[in-house]
Amino acid sequence: MGRASARPTTHFPLPRPDGILPPVKRSPLSAMTSTSSETTTLTYDGYTIDADMANDYAELYDTNGNLIAQFSWGVDSAGELTATGVGPSQSATVTMPTASAAAAAGSVRVGNSAASLNNANSSFTVSSNGQDVMDETVGSDGTATMSPLTYALSPLTFRTHVNPGGGGGGGPRPLTGVRPMSVSGSCASAFLAALAMMTLVAYALVDLVVVSCGGGPEEAPICAAAGILAGAMYQQAAQSLAQMVSGACEQ
Amino acid sequence: MALFLRQEDPRKRRAYLRLFVVLLALGLIEMAAGVATAGHLFRGATGTLISVATYAVIFALGLSVYLANRPRDRRTVRGILVFVVLALLWIGAVIVFPRYVITIIAIGLGLPLLIWLFLRRAKSG
């Protein structure tokens, strides 16, 4: 999955003797390439980050496999770095000046998740609920390392390369908010099982409402309590079954 | 066989069957949209909106069943008021409080309350 044991040869320009990186039109954040694969998955404390470094794109999933946020970043022909974050109900964009502007920094926050860009130390960090779950830094030797901060996994090493920049093709790609999934046997069977379960739950809850709300002199509080209970159970069932089907269809 | 299908009055049976179809359609739409959006539907403002819509539909079903089984008298009017107030309070809580709090309250308190009310009704005959 893109983990490398040895650091590869880099195309990243080495720092000058004064420690300052040469002002070339590049961004270590915009064009990271895995040494063994262009797509990699990091896990940290149940969180999962699917990073497609060749396309400058990462997805952050929570412990239940729910997509929390999508981040993309890119450099335009002028060398300006733009990062975009998209969440369930929010989206945000941050733009940084050219990579040579050493003090440039910015962050994109989507709900409780954020992607921070800091060109001063060439880092890109994804955090959730204030907890860093992924970062990428470019070391003085020019190699970029991306790792989950708990070091539960071996740090992943990526080779940087100069972003060609021209042609205006470096901007963030459009985000659809829908994760592509393949349909397999387990996916179809999970969907059928979910349909059956949903039917049974609806069946039982209509019974509950009918029994609670029909007959007897003082049913109003019982009827309301049954409605509350039925609503909570029904929604929880729909959510759990949707997660079950999503999980089966992603495999 | 479900209780609502054993209803002898054909009009009530049809009405209950209609409730079942509405509830099932709502659940299936919710589930399918949840799958298609990888859970997005259940999060944030959209999730709250979906919650409110689900509760509104179920409360409407409950009220229609209640009205179908009650004579038109003052006690029924009082019952409707109690029901509507409780329903509105709950929908307000759904908007204000996080989902997990709502689920814990609904199942943790709603279930014992329902059992207690049923037992009390059984005792009073």
Is A217 in Cβ contact with B50 (below 8 Å)? no
CA distance A117 to B67: 60
Enter the DSSP assignment of A92: E
Banded model confidence at residue A97, pLDDT cuts 50, 70, 90: very low
State yes or no: pLDDT of A181 exceeds 60.
no
**Is B116's Cβ below 8 Å from some Cβ in A?**
no
Q: What is the pLDDT of residue B23?
A: 83
Distance CA B113, CA B103 (A): 15
Which pLDDT belongs to residue A82?
A: 61
Q: Which one is predicted more confidently, A48 or A30?
A: A48
User: Is B108 touching A (CB cutoff 8 A)?
Assistant: no
Question: What integer is the mean pLDDT of B59-64?
Answer: 83
Strand order from edge to edge, sheet including A32-34 = A32-34, A156-160, A144-147, A131-138, A123-128, A113-118, A105-110
Q: Nearest by CB to A214, from B43, B65, B103: name it.
A: B65
Chain B residue numbers touching A128 (CB-CB < 8 A): none
pLDDT score at B8: 73
Rounded to 10 degrees, the C-alpha dihedral B32/B38/B39/B43 comes to -120
Kindly state whether B91 is in contact with chain A, defined as any CB-CB distance less than 8 angstroms: no
The single residue listed with the structure tokens 């008021």 is: B81
Q: In this complex, which of A194, A199, A229 lies closest to B107 when CB atoms are compared?
A: A229
Which pLDDT band, with edges at 50, 70 and 90, does B15 fall under?
confident
Which among A90, A175, A235, A249 is the top mutation candidate for probing chain B, defined by the most B β-carbons within 10 Å of its own β-carbon? A235
Tell me the residue length of chain A. Answer: 251
User: Which chain B residues touch A247 with a CB distance below 8 Å?
Assistant: none
The H-or-E segment that residue A199 falls in is helix A185-213
CB A212 within 8 A of CB A154: no
DSSP-assigned letter for residue A127: E
Is the pTM higher than 0.95? The answer reads no
Q: Is the pLDDT of residue A234 over 80?
A: yes
Report the pLDDT value the prediction gives residue A191, as an integer from 0 to 100.
80
Q: pLDDT for B66-105, tens place per residue?
A: 887 777 777 778 888 888 898 899 888 888 888 778 888 8
Residue A114 structure tokens: 């954020």
Choose from A5-14, A195-204, B30-39 the range with maximum mean pLDDT.
A195-204
pLDDT band at residue A80 using 50, 70 and 90 as cut-offs? low
pLDDT band at residue A147, thresholds of 50, 70 and 90?
Answer: very low
Nearest CA in chain B to A61: B38
Structure tokens at A182: 């393949």
Query: Between A216 and A221, where is the model more confident?
Result: A221
Which of residues A61 and A146 earns the better pLDDT score?
Answer: A61
Name residues 42-61 of chain B within 8 A of A (Cβ).
42-47, 50-51, 54-55, 58-59, 61
CA-based nearest residue to B34, from A91, A204, A178, A58: A178
d(CA A114, CA A92): 10
Which token pair is A251? Answer: 């495999």
A182 vs A79, residue with greater confidence: A79
Least confident of A44-48, A59-63, A214-218: A44-48
Nearest CB to B111 within list A90, A212, A229: A229
Interface subset of A 28-67, CB within 8 angstroms of B: 64-67
Minimum-distance CB partner of A246 among B35, B51, B106: B35
Q: Measured over all CA atoms, what is the biggest interatomic distance in chain A, rounded to whole angstroms? A: 89
Compute, in degrees rounded to 10, the torsion defined by CA atoms B21, B26, B32, B36: 160
- Indicate yes or no: CB of A242 within 8 angstroms of CB of B42: yes
Give the chain A residue nearest B124 (alpha carbons).
A216
Query: Does residue A196 sit at the B interface (CB-CB below 8 Å)?
Result: no
The string of DSSP letters for A136-153 reads EEE-TTS-EEEE-TT-SS
Judged by CB atoms closer than 8 Å, whether chains meet at A206 and B80 is answered as no
Which range is most confident: A6-15, A79-88, A129-138, A166-175? Answer: A79-88
Higher pLDDT, A94 or B90: B90
- Which residues of chain B make contact with A210, given a CB cutoff of 8 A? 3-4, 7, 16, 19, 65
pLDDT band per the 50, 70, 90 thresholds, residue A10: very low
Instruction: Return the percentage of chain B with pLDDT > 90, whole number.
Output: 0
Question: Is A231 in Cβ contact with B34 (below 8 Å)?
Answer: no
Q: Rounded to whole angstroms, how far apart are CA atoms A15 and A219?
A: 78
Q: Which of the listed ranges A40-44, A58-62, A99-103, A141-145 does the model predict with the highest average pLDDT?
A: A58-62
Mean pLDDT of the residues in chain A = 56
User: What is the complex's ipTM, to 2 decimals?
Assistant: 0.76
User: Hey, is the C-beta of A235 within 8 angstroms of any chain B C-beta?
Assistant: yes
Checking if the pLDDT of B44 tops 50, the result is yes
Q: Are A198 and A109 in contact (CB under 8 A)?
A: no
pLDDT of residue A104: 41
